[in-house]
Amino acid sequence: MRKSRLSGRELWPFGRSFTLLWVGQLLSQVGDQFLFIAGLSLLDRLTNSRAAFGGLALAITLPQILFGLWGGVFADRWPRRAVLIGSDVARALIVLGALTVQTNADLWRLYPLASALAIAGLFFYPARNAVLPALVSPAHLLQANTMLQASYILALVAGGVSAGFFVDRFGPYAAFILDSLTFLVSALTLAWIRLPSSVNRPQPARRNSPGRDLLEGLHFVWTRRSLRGVAAITPFATIGIGVVQVLGLAFLAEVLQVRAGGFGLTMAMMGIGLAIGLGVVPLLSHWIPTHQMAGLFLAAAGLATVAFSRAQTFAFVLLAAFAMGLCVVVARAGLATLIQQITPNPLRGRVDSLVNLVVNSALALAQGSAGLFGQLWGPRPVLMGAGLLMVLVGGFAALGLRGIRALPSEEAAPAAPTPEQERLLPPPR
């Protein structure tokens, strides 16, 4: 007789190591929302200058543009688990520096602290994405990427709501301490992750300089047509949500006469769509190739953005936001999976850093342009233009990436151990 219910292994098809990574990251990302709200609260308490808010955003963004490629270089040179743990510990200590900002005269300290925090994060994410194929089986790599993409939005929704109440009740300094603790918890979970030695340290001791390693990574991307294509398409998966973040509030107020609380509800619906997307990915992965899934859902996210721009009622806005969240998480997970599948293990950190730099730069450009053109033309045509662009790029991705093939097994990282095999591996050192 066939079983009528799924086993625990089917519901959560990941081993212990991925679970530790995901839980630790989710906690630290929730903590980041506490840090963000606490930082804004502290700035508002100490100064009425809007330039202070802009300066803080610049202090976070500029290091990502100037040093964004170097995190991946060292994620490929140093033991990756040490890079992950070191990044979390460094961020835990940096956040505590905000406790010294007590008066307006101390305000300048926030800017180097924000820059240092951004730089430490540049090491974490390339190392995380480089080890991911070794933590899950190839059949579950797309689903694991979906979980990682989702953790950010889940933290944004859950952390954003709870952080406001926490900061109001206990103040910004308590939130700084809480965020620091979440980084330490994440570091502890990472200490128990088991990695094959070839993945933890993908290269033997090398005589190459870091600069030469960086050029090697850039050359690899430039000479691989398929990788160039995926790297160029990936930023478009974030444009729609980025433009909505900038113009959504103005659109709801000017076009639909909906108050600010409606924008919060809109973002919450986007988060719900993202959560539903978690269940969609494993079902679709059995029927649709990854490149088609990424392209089709990118185009669908564009259509949802167009629908958002044409909405005549708030109910339709919520439906469009739900569709955007669902489609974007599937598209981004598919693109991240393609990059991991076609990049050799020793180069994954550098390739991931380059893609992150392109994505962050494109998002900043899109949001800045949205603000400018939204002021000139109004929010509706700008939202529609962003959506149509996503539709075009998504269609190209579904057709133009069909020749992509995963690396042969001898070039790829070793397959992830099963839970039974994990128990036989030596403990992490």
Do 390 and 302 contact (CB within 8 A), yes or no? yes
Give the pLDDT confidence score for residue 253 in this predicted structure: 84
Report which listed range, 193-202, 206-215, 230-239, 299-308, is most confident.
Answer: 299-308
Q: 193 with 233, same domain?
A: no
CA distance 125 to 146: 15
Look at residue 207 and tell me whether its pLDDT is greater than 70.
no
Whether 417 maps to a domain, the answer reads no
Whether 197 maps to a domain, the answer reads yes
Q: 333 with 276, same domain?
A: yes
Q: 232 with 181, same domain?
A: no
Other Cβ atoms less than 10 A from the Cβ of 268: the count is 18
Final residue in a domain of this structure, among 152, 181, 201: 201
Q: 112 with 239, same domain?
A: no
The secondary structure of 174-206 as a DSSP string is: HHHHHHHHHHHHHHHHHHT----HHHHS-S-S-
The secondary structure of 393-404 as a DSSP string is: HHHHHHHHTTT-
Whether 7 maps to a domain, the answer reads no
Whether 1 maps to a domain, the answer reads no
The HSE-up count of residue 370 (CA atoms within 13 Å, CB side) is 27
Whether 121 maps to a domain, the answer reads yes
CA distance 250 to 364: 19
CA distance 356 to 111: 22
Other Cβ atoms less than 10 A from the Cβ of 288: the count is 16
Can you tell me the mean pLDDT for 168-180?
A: 93
Which domain covers residue 285, as residue numbers? 210-405
Other Cβ atoms less than 10 A from the Cβ of 111: the count is 15
Q: 73 with 137, same domain?
A: yes
Q: 124 with 65, same domain?
A: yes
pTM over the 0.75 mark: yes
What the block records as the tokens of 26 is: 């989710």
Final residue in a domain of this structure, among 201, 223, 247: 201
Residue 193 — very low, low, confident or very high, per pLDDT cuts 50/70/90? very high
What the block records as the tokens of 429 is: 């050192």
Domain count along the chain: 2
Whether 412 maps to a domain, the answer reads no
Final residue in a domain of this structure, among 201, 222, 248: 201
Look at residue 179 and tell me whether its pLDDT is greater than 70.
yes
Q: 167 with 242, same domain?
A: no
What the block records as the tokens of 387 is: 């959506």
Give the pLDDT confidence score for residue 414 in this predicted structure: 47
Residue 370 — very low, low, confident or very high, per pLDDT cuts 50/70/90? confident
Whether 336 maps to a domain, the answer reads yes
Q: 179 with 71, same domain?
A: yes
Q: 222 with 194, same domain?
A: no
Residue 206 — very low, low, confident or very high, per pLDDT cuts 50/70/90? low
Give the pLDDT confidence score for residue 74 in this predicted structure: 92
Helix, strand, coil abundance in the chain, percent, nearest 5: 80, 0, 20
Look at residue 356 and tell me whether its pLDDT is greater than 70.
yes
Q: 281 with 256, same domain?
A: yes
CA distance 86 to 80: 10
Q: 180 with 214, same domain?
A: no
Can you tell me the mean pLDDT for 158-166?
A: 77
CA-CA distances (angstroms) from residue 353 to 43, 82, 127, 334?
31, 18, 9, 18
Q: Sign of dihedral through CA atoms 277, 282, 286, 288?
A: positive
Specify the CATH number for the domain of residue 317.
1.20.1250.20
Q: 225 with 192, same domain?
A: no
Do 390 and 243 contact (CB within 8 A), yes or no? no
Which of 160-164, 182-186, 394-398 is predicted with the least confidence, judged by mean pLDDT? Answer: 160-164
Whether 423 maps to a domain, the answer reads no
